Structure 1
Amino acid sequence: MLNHIILIGRLVKDPDLRYTPTGVAVGKFTLAVDRPVNKEKGEKKADFIDVICFYKLAETVANNLEKGRLVAVEGRLQIRSYDDSQGIRRKASEVIAGNIRFLDFRKENGKGAGVEEAFEEVPFNEEDIPF
Structure 2
Amino acid sequence: MLPLLHIHHIAIICSDYVRSKQFYTEVLGLRVIREVYRAERQSWKLDLALGGQYVIELFSFPTPPARLSHPEAAGLRHLAFAVSDIDATVRHLTTRGVAAEPVRTDELTGRRFTFIQDPDGLPLEFYEG
Pick the structure with more strand per residue: 1
Larger radius of gyration: 1
TM-score interval for Structure 1 and Structure 2 normalised by the shorter chain: under 0.3
Pick the structure with more helix per residue: 2
**TM-score w.r.t. structure 1 length?**
0.26
